[in-house]
Amino acid sequence: MPTIVALGEALVEIMRRDRDVPLDDPGLFVGPFPSGAPAIFADAAARLGASAGFAGTIGDDPFGDCIQHRLCADGVDCTALVRDPAHLTGIAFVSYRADGSRSFVFHLADSAAARLSVEQVPSRWLKDIRYLHITGSSLSSGGGMREACYALAHQVANAGGTVSLDPNLRPELMPLEEIRAVCEPVLARARIVFPSGEELAMLTGKGSVPEAARDLLDRGVQTIALKQGEQGSTILTHAGALAIAPYAVDEVDPTGAGDCYDAAFLVGLSEGWSLDKAARFANAAGALATTQLGPMEGAATRDQVLEFMLEAGRPL
């Protein structure tokens, strides 16, 4: 049975081939690439050697084939990946700008991805799930998916597992205040939170990192892994702050890097590593994820991450 599980949207990304070509202009695209934040997370965890499972819904179409083939090939337990013949697989169209920012057009609310149900998750999984990972993008994608996330978070927490939340705030899907509200039931059970950049303040409504961190820690969160891109990451706990140095890479595509970071961090914790060791491993995995075009294409194996760290002069 999988010990690290994610549930939520699985979709394909179709992206502009060139930078600074907006989505409302005719132009060339590349893809499809398998994607969806929780699906990327599960794929990365499996490639890093964890027993990982994913619960989601895809259409009975070639895009669904693209996702299922990739997850299964990388070792993800797809028992809870369901086909819906009545709805198309979720799609995201993406445009990249030269400054690294992105624009999205999503087809999710009316897609198969939004048809996730907690009943898809086998009851026999519950006793073995040690870490359940939920993203804000899943909570923003529709009522059925949201309720499935709430229900499984409740079940896993009650069974003694650890719930983690990546806020993954997407204003394209829902206004910030609404995202904050839909994250609240999961945040109330989460023991690990993975915000990026400004998300820590956005999630809490507090104006500074120390204030926002104190707010979450006082509410029961045990570990905050603040992802800071080129500046690395900072681990915040009641014991204080631990800065983790970044890795220098030539960025090709940042999509999915945060999900790979999350996966590597939880893989490390699942093996009993210290927060420092898990975070250094996660920084390396997240950096490598940016070096390939496509959300899952940069998800590295454990050996690749360890070799990268060794070559950088910072072995695990």
**Facing residues of 13 across strands?**
33, 92
Low-confidence ranges of the chain (pLDDT < 70): 170-174
- pLDDT at res. 108: 85
Cβ count within 10 A of residue 292: 16
Tokens describing residue 316: 């695990």
Cα(313)–Cα(316) distance, rounded to whole angstroms? 10
- Our CA dihedral for 211, 147, 48, 60, rounded to 10 degrees, sits at -140
Q: What is the pLDDT of residue 154?
A: 96
- pLDDT for 98 equals 83
At 55-73, the pLDDT tens digits run: 999 999 999 999 999 999 9
pLDDT at 173: 63
pLDDT at 15: 92
**Residue 72: its pLDDT value, please?**
97
Closest CA to 92 of 27, 9, 11: 11
**Domain topology for 4-298:** UDP-N-acetylmuramoyl-L-alanine:D-glutamate ligase (3.40.1190)
pLDDT of residue 237: 97
pTM as predicted: 0.95
Strand pairing partners for 133?
Answer: 6, 164
Structure tokens at 183: 């994250």
For the chain, the domains span 4-298
